Structure 1
Amino acid sequence: MEIIKKIQAFISYWYLRYLLVTEMYMVEPWEKAVIHVLFATVFGLFWYFNYSFVMHTIAQLRSTQSVFVQRVL
């Protein structure tokens, strides 16, 4: 039970820091919800871009480099 309280305190601390840094502690609850949704959407789009485009490009680069290495050897 003590570990759960420590985890809750840890999350509360970092959530408070997040609110202070983004200055969202002074907005209304509905504004806070909208901003959280926008942050989540932007984060999700960045994740999707990195997962789909960058990982695909890295895989292609690895496969083309191995072909070039085989030609040299």
Structure 2
Amino acid sequence: MIYGITFLLIITVYLQVNKLIEQEELRELKFYLIIMAIAILYSYGTLLEWNLPRPGSIITKIYQPISNYIFIKQK
């Protein structure tokens, strides 16, 4: 399974990076590589059963104090 996902990721990255380099879109290339690195980390983490935090829990940790401050009346 890991070999199949690795093969698909390599093909996808190769095709997209070639396209972005030919069109000279370097800002988009940087953003694409960052997002793709996160996706690769999570896909391998899921396959290898790493204990990675869920994206939803990260967002909750960031916005929960703000939500509590706005919606819960403090005495």
TM range (shorter): 0.3 to 0.5
Higher normalized contact order (CA 8 Å, seq sep 6+, divided by chain length)? 2
- TM-score of the two chains, using structure 2 as the length reference: 0.33
Q: Which has the larger radius of gyration?
A: 1
Q: Which has the higher helix share?
A: 1
